[in-house]
Amino acid sequence: MSVTHVEVLHRAEQLSLSLADRAEEAETLRRLPTATTDDLVELDLLRMVVPTSLGGHGLGLSSLAHSTRILGRGCVASAWTSSFLTMHSWLLGKFPAEARNEFFTPRQPWALAPAPLAPTGTMTSTDGGYVVNGRWEWATGVHHGQWVMVHAIQTEPEFVTRFAVVPLADVTIDDVWHTSGMCATGSDTVVLDDVFVPEHRSVLAEQLFSGGEPLEGDGMAMLPAIQVLALVAAAPALGAAERAVDLYRERVTARVLAYSLGDRAVDQPAAQMRLGAVMSDLATVRTQWDAAIEELVGYTGRGDVPLERRAALRIAAAATVRGARAIINTIAEGAGASVYFNSSPFQRLQRDVEVLKGHAIFDWDRTTELAGRVALGLPPKPTDMI
């Protein structure tokens, strides 16, 4: 039975409440709790953007992005992880038909496949495929994976980069993800040592990133993967800012100021002004992100996003994270010390967004440099994710 956009958002609202209840557990486990992965299956969210021809629901970018934003209100790290696993099923649909038949089955029309993007490994041609070696950092969701998709450099017969997909059993997981935030992503390092990958489970990176050939019932057909990744990955931070503003409103309403004669925060002009300011800032950030999503959706099935618009969408995603972080930090300046008790969800929202902003795709200096270069008519660098 197919699921609609409205149903997806309703189910995300339900799951967001559960993610909030499990946020501390997820942080302690450094991965998604079993109850959360069970919920993703039960609520039928994992095949959201899998093309209908592969057994999915064939929904579009708007469904993926907004459901991720809603989940981010409950737990930023859990929203990030579930959205990556969901989005990667869409990427696997860009592989040859023989590989798709391995990834998607009538019983399970989605595939859980962490995908570290940096090309930090090597691929060597061999009879029937490739031999892959390397070490890849930040494999979000790897502890829930069935497959792992890695990005590697091939130097012969020419220099190209390719993605390869291997079963989880062929991968060594290096337990390195001990962080101050985003703990539940379980973004450990994966290592491959002389692993054979058949030809059909590899695809040129350019083909994967550019959109590829559309499949029947693909609601995100031919959208550039980098821009999809950037805007969806920004969504948990935006959801966190929305939740932080709600928490601040509740706190101002109930808080009695320390070292006062019972003065209430709700009566203080400074608290009223701070709340008004972050509400305004949130509306601005949300408007920019919404507009970027709407613009990218407009290119569905076309595959013709101009370079300057791709750069603009990249910077819109980075600005969303930057703005969300600023909102949360502004709230923290006037919320008092109690928001840093472990029992307060605010401190986890803040820590998670601080770590999230470190993702290379949100690097403000590199992103603004890229946008500036494009605006000046200069060519992108080979390492630019655009």
Segment 65-76, tens digit of pLDDT: 999 999 999 999
Q: Which sign, positive or negative, has the C-alpha torsion 346, 351, 354, 357?
A: negative
What would the mean pLDDT of 134-159 be, rounded to a whole number?
96
**Are both 174 and 266 inside the same structural domain?**
no
pLDDT tens per residue, range 314-353: 999 999 999 999 999 999 999 999 999 999 999 999 999 9
Q: Could you check whether the bond before residue 157 is cis, i.e. omega within 30 degrees of 0?
A: yes
**CATH code, 152:** 2.40.110.10
What is the number of residues in the chain?
386
Q: How far apart are CA 120 and CA 150, in angstroms?
A: 9
Tally of domains within the chain: 3
The three-point CA angle 273-279-280 to 5° equals 90
Domain that holds residue 87: 5-103
**Are both 91 and 20 inside the same structural domain?**
yes
Mean of pLDDT over the chain: 96
Give, as one character, the DSSP assignment of residue 183.
G
**Are both 143 and 234 inside the same structural domain?**
no
- Scanning the chain, the segments in alpha helix (DSSP H) are 5-29, 34-42, 61-74, 76-92, 97-103, 205-210, 225-254, 269-297, 307-333, 345-356, 364-375
* pLDDT for the residue numbered 237: 98
* Domain termination residue (choose one: 42, 75, 103): 103
Strand partners, 154: 160
**Are both 193 and 326 inside the same structural domain?**
no
* 383 in a structural domain: no
* 246 in a structural domain: yes
